[in-house]
């Protein structure tokens, strides 16, 4: 569980590891593992495709998309979408065993594809699926894996420079996998911008048959219980987010945050301490260990803005901080600040927005 | 039933400061804690043991001072503790860490019986990678079960396990087989207060300390810096933003302040008014 940087010893080591072993020189192209589950592709895959396109263009290589799933379970659609978001080649694996995500079947599939087609860079979403899979595949291939990258670049010597927050986000570090291929990295949803979709863009499909027998896979999915839509949070992808912190003083006062979010047609969230205090469920947490958000408008009420929180909200177009402390770190990233008590101010702001943007909101809420 | 729980001693992230001039981490005096996510794994392991019998062995790799966290785990009720510590492990990335821990778990198996379940937290709060659990599972060829919200059933005779796994948009109900590696989700169990008897026992208990050689690790090239495919080349502070937040004057009436804020927002982003109206209308 250590990913601790080793700055002191790093430079000499880095210099030592310059020359890539001969058998890895055949590794080319930048791949994205497309997360297809029950016919739906996680948007993080397209965000990664945008990054993969930039890296591949710098390296002068192709973008490959790995699409795996049961036959006719959205695989062809996912392949077409991969092209629209920038892939040149889709490596398509269709097998009934891949109907539901399971570590064993997916690890075997992705490992086999990597060994067969040899990508130099392999990107996955830092989702439950992506993290579960990336750790297994990297260990099987005995290669380097950098988690939760916030920036991906190609160096002068063509190696991948993967930058990620460390020590709870207070510092950034740039990590290389110099001697091994593929160079693997995960990126959290919403950290990278969604690339433009190019309608009608096409590419090559490489169909790969995989010899997997259901009997050889130990873990079985007995059933899938979908979240009730009412409790499902769309926090990461919301256009407006209102969040509360310890400044609200009680879990009940998070209701004020929810009310404003409702009037704005947005989602609500909170800082990490609120989750730790049991005021809100973990899927409402915003920040480094919670959700990363990129809304058009973010309102932080009673949140001081520890680094942990900041790294999760910096991508917002407009940040409003409501905080009595005029020196709170959130003010370093906010665009507008209101130095007042959020508990008193939130109801007034809710009413003001209601009057300004949605004259009929009252009726709807009542109904 | 033999259960191994992997824990990590981490700096309490809430108390880490960066030196304003040198931009380096000021580690001195930062208290250490058991990685909070690991406590859910420990609690789940203890409940299984209480229900089915057997023993819980806690394992950590780290400096000699990590013994504190192992002792703490014993105050919660763990039966024995193993500290894997050696200068050869210094600078391990996740691949090298999973190698060393997997070897130690093999050795634990030889010494006290093969584990039925190996537990780990979802991730750590300092590295945040979530990679070491899967790495151990792969190396020991354990069935890998991550992001588990609940263990519904363990059948030691049939060697099966049923659990609920957090997936995108819902919960997977899984059946799998022992031995397996489980990483527990936060909030999956309320953590007990250690019993007084356990606290007394923990204070006196002996923590087993293993070097690389003690754990049966022969290939030191797979450990520490030398066994780590990743190299940290640069550590730096994020660039601060040039401009500070624009203050909105606080008026006696909250509603007036609210209107002033909305005016400022719409002035800065003229398109926002229309966008918000559409959103509010659910379009």
Q: Map out the domains of chain A as residue ranges.
A: 10-216, 235-356
B55: in domain: yes
- Identify all chain A residues contacting B264, using CB atoms and an 8 Å cutoff: 336
List pLDDT tens digits, range B102-160. 999 999 999 999 999 999 999 988 888 999 999 999 999 999 999 999 999 999 999 99
Q: At a CB cut-off of 8 Å and minimum separation 6, what does B77 contact?
A: B46, B56, B192, B194, B195, B198
List pLDDT tens digits, range A21-61. 999 999 999 999 999 999 999 999 999 999 999 999 999 99
- Identify all chain A residues contacting B144, using CB atoms and an 8 Å cutoff: 103-104, 132, 136
Mean pLDDT of the residues in chain B: 92
Task: Evaluate if residue B15 carries a pLDDT over 90.
Answer: no
Strands B2-6 and B55-61: parallel
Q: Would you place residue A352 in the very low, low, confident or very high pLDDT band (cuts 50, 70, 90)?
A: very high
Residues B116 and B190 in one domain: yes
The confidence score (pLDDT) of residue A256 equals 97
Are A136 and B237 within 8 A, CB to CB?
A: no
Residues B156 and B202 in one domain: yes
Task: Evaluate if residue A333 carries a pLDDT over 50.
Answer: yes
Q: Which CATH class is domain A10-216?
A: alpha beta
CATH architecture of the region A235-356: 3-Layer(aba) Sandwich (3.40)
Strands B80-84 and A40-41: unpaired
Residues 68 through 87 of chain B touching chain A, CB cutoff 8 Å: none
Asked if the peptide bond before residue A177 counts as cis, ω within 30 degrees of 0, the response is no
The residue among B31 and A77 whose pLDDT is bigger is A77
The confidence score (pLDDT) of residue A12 equals 45
Which candidate, B155, B142, B173, places its Cα nearest to that of A221?
B173
Q: At a CB cut-off of 8 Å and minimum separation 6, what does B127 contact?
A: A1, A2, A3, A4, A147, A166, B94
The confidence score (pLDDT) of residue B20 equals 61
Nearest C-alpha of chain B: how many angstroms from A233?
Answer: 9
The confidence score (pLDDT) of residue B30 equals 82
Mean pLDDT on B69-96: 96
Residues 200 through 219 of chain B touching chain A, CB cutoff 8 Å: none
B236: in domain: no
Task: Evaluate if residue A165 carries a pLDDT over 90.
Answer: no
For A128, the closest of B166, B225, B273 (CB atoms) is B166
Backbone angles phi, psi at B115, to 5 degrees: -70, 145
Nearest C-alpha of chain B: how many angstroms from A105?
Answer: 11
Nearest C-alpha of chain A: how many angstroms from B151?
Answer: 14
Task: Evaluate if residue A360 carries a pLDDT over 70.
Answer: no
- Stated as kind and residue range, the H or E segment containing A91 is strand A89-94
For B169, the closest of A140, A168, A226 (CB atoms) is A226
Q: Would you place residue A359 in the very low, low, confident or very high pLDDT band (cuts 50, 70, 90)?
A: low
Residues B200 and B259 in one domain: no
Report DSSP letters for A56-73, one per residue: HHHHT--EEEEEEESTTS
Residues B265 and B188 in one domain: no
- The reply to whether A10-216 and A235-356 are identical in fold is yes
Task: Evaluate if residue B173 carries a pLDDT over 60.
Answer: yes
Residue of A1, A173, A176 to mutate, testing the B interface (most B Cβ within 10 Å of its Cβ): A1
Residue of B5, B37, B101, B254 to mutate, testing the A interface (most A Cβ within 10 Å of its Cβ): B254
Which candidate, B105, B16, B34, places its Cα nearest to that of B75?
B34
b/e A257-277 (16+ beta carbons within 10 angstroms → b): bbbbbbbbbbbbbbbbbbbbe
The confidence score (pLDDT) of residue A5 equals 46
B232: in domain: no
Task: Evaluate if residue A363 carries a pLDDT over 80.
Answer: no
The confidence score (pLDDT) of residue A357 equals 85
Tell me which of A78-82, A164-168, A308-312, B58-62 is least confident. A164-168
The confidence score (pLDDT) of residue A9 equals 42
Mean pLDDT on A140-165: 95
Which candidate, A95, A94, A70, A101, places its Cα nearest to that of A220?
A101
Residues B143 and B255 in one domain: no
Q: Would you place residue A311 in the very low, low, confident or very high pLDDT band (cuts 50, 70, 90)?
A: confident
The confidence score (pLDDT) of residue A166 equals 81
Backbone angles phi, psi at A165, to 5 degrees: -70, 150
**How many domains does chain B contain in total?**
2
Coil/strand/helix, residue A96: helix
Residues B157 and B277 in one domain: no
Backbone angles phi, psi at B99, to 5 degrees: -65, -50
List pLDDT tens digits, range A83-111. 999 999 999 999 999 999 999 999 999 99
Residues B115 and B33 in one domain: yes
The confidence score (pLDDT) of residue B125 equals 83
B233: in domain: no
Are B173 and A351 within 8 A, CB to CB?
A: no
**Is B160 near chain A, with CB under 8 Å?**
no
How many Å apart are CA A285 and CA A299, to the nearest integer? 14
Q: Would you place residue B85 in the very low, low, confident or very high pLDDT band (cuts 50, 70, 90)?
A: very high
Q: At how many degrees (to 10) do helices A103-117 and B132-140 cross?
A: 90
The confidence score (pLDDT) of residue A362 equals 45
How many Å apart are CA A243 and CA A279, to the nearest integer? 12
List pLDDT tens digits, range A179-219. 999 999 999 999 999 999 999 999 999 999 999 999 999 99
Percent of chain B with pLDDT over 90: 75
The confidence score (pLDDT) of residue B22 equals 59
Nearest C-alpha of chain A: how many angstroms from B199?
Answer: 25
How many Å apart are CA B7 and CA B189, to the nearest integer? 16
Task: Evaluate if residue A14 carries a pLDDT over 50.
Answer: no
Residues B171 and B251 in one domain: no
Residues B10 and B122 in one domain: yes
Residues B247 and B124 in one domain: no
Alpha-carbon Rg for chain A in angstroms: 23
Are B124 and A218 within 8 A, CB to CB?
A: no
Mean pLDDT on A215-233: 85
Burial of A192 (0-12, 13-18, 19+ CB in 10 A): buried
How many residues would you count in chain A?
A: 367
Mean pLDDT of the residues in chain A: 90
Backbone angles phi, psi at A214, to 5 degrees: -55, -35
- Identify all chain B residues contacting A281, using CB atoms and an 8 Å cutoff: 187
Domain range for residue B255? 241-283
How many Å apart are CA A317 and CA A277, to the nearest integer? 29
Residues B133 and B190 in one domain: yes
Asked if the peptide bond before residue B179 counts as cis, ω within 30 degrees of 0, the response is yes
List pLDDT tens digits, range B51-74. 999 999 999 999 999 999 999 999
For B93, the closest of A3, A223, A340 (CB atoms) is A3
**Is B245 near chain A, with CB under 8 Å?**
yes
The confidence score (pLDDT) of residue A2 equals 46
CA atoms within 13 A on the CB side of A22: 0
Are A227 and B170 within 8 A, CB to CB?
A: yes
Residues B206 and B260 in one domain: no
Dihedral through CA A342, CA A347, CA A353, CA A359, nearest 10?
A: 170
Task: Evaluate if residue B16 carries a pLDDT over 80.
Answer: no
Are B169 and A361 within 8 A, CB to CB?
A: no
Q: How many A/B residue pairs have CB atoms within 8 Å?
A: 333
Tell me which of A143-147, A310-314, A335-339 is least confident. A310-314
């Amino acid at each position: 569980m250590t990913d601790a940087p080793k700055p002191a010893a790093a430079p000499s080591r880095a210099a030592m590891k310059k020359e890539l072993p001969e058998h890895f020189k055949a590794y080319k192209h930048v791949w994205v593992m497309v997360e297809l589950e029950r016919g739906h592709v996680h948007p993080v895959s397209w965000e990664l495709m945008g990054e993969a396109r930039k890296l591949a263009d710098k390296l002068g290589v192709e973008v490959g998309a790995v699409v795996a799933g049961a036959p006719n379970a959205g695989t062809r659609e996912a392949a077409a979408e991969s092209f629209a978001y920038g892939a040149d080649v889709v490596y398509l694996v269709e097998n009934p065993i891949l109907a539901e995500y399971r570590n064993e079947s997916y690890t075997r599939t992705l490992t086999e594809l990597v060994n067969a087609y040899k990508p130099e860079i392999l990107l996955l979403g830092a989702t439950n699926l992506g993290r579960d899979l990336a750790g297994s595949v990297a260990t099987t291939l005995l290669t380097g894996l950098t988690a939760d990258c916030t920036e991906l670049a190609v160096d002068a010597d063509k190696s991948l420079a993967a930058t990620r927050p460390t020590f709870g986000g207070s510092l950034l570090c740039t990590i290389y996998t110099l001697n091994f291929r593929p160079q693997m990295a995960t990126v959290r949803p919403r950290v990278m911008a969604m690339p433009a979709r190019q309608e009608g863009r096409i590419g090559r499909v490489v169909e790969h048959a995989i010899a997997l027998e259901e009997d050889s896979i130990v873990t079985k999915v007995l059933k899938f219980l979908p979240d009730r839509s009412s409790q499902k949070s769309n926090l990461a992808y919301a256009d407006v987010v209102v969040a509360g912190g310890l400044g609200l003083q009680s879990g009940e006062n998070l209701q004020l945050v929810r009310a404003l979010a409702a009037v704005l047609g947005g989602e609500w969230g909170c800082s990490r301490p609120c989750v730790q205090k049991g005021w809100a469920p973990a899927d409402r947490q915003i920040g480094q260990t919670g959700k990363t958000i990129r809304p058009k408008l973010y309102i932080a009420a009673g949140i001081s803005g520890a680094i942990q929180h900041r790294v999760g909200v910096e991508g917002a177009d407009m940040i409003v901080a409501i905080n009595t402390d005029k020196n709170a770190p959130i003010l370093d990233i906010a665009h507008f600040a209101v130095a007042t008590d959020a508990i008193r101010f939130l109801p007034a702001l809710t009413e003001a927005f209601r009057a300004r943007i949605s004259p009929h909101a009252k009726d709807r809420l009542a109904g | 039933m033999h259960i191994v729980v992997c824990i990590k001693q981490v700096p309490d992230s809430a108390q880490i400061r960066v030196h304003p001039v040198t931009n380096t981490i000021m580690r001195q005096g930062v208290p250490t804690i058991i990685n909070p996510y690991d406590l859910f794994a420990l609690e789940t392991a203890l409940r299984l043991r209480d229900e089915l019998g057997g023993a819980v062995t806690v394992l950590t790799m780290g400096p000699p001072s990590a013994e504190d966290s192992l002792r703490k785990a014993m105050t919660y009720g763990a039966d024995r503790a193993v500290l894997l510590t050696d200068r050869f492990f210094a600078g391990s990335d996740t691949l090298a860490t999973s190698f060393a821990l997997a070897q130690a778990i093999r050795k634990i198996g030889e010494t006290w019986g093969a584990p039925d379940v190996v537990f780990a937290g979802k991730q750590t709060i300092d590295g945040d990678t979530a990679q070491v659990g899967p790495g151990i599972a792969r190396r020991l060829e354990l069935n890998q079960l991550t992001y588990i919200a609940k263990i519904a059933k363990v059948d030691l005779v049939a060697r099966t396990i049923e659990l609920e796994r957090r997936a995108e948009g819902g919960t997977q109900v899984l059946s799998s087989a022992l031995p397996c590696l489980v990483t527990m989700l936060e909030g999956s169990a309320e953590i007990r207060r250690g019993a007084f008897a356990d606290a007394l026992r923990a204070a006196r208990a002996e923590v087993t300390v293993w070097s690389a050689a003690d754990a049966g690790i022969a290939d030191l090239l797979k450990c520490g810096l030398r066994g780590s495919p990743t190299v940290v080349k640069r550590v730096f502070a994020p660039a601060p933003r040039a401009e500070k937040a624009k203050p909105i004057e606080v008026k006696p009436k909250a509603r007036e302040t609210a209107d002033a804020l909305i005016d400022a927002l719409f002035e800065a982003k003229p398109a926002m008014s229309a966008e918000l109206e559409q959103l509010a209308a659910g379009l």
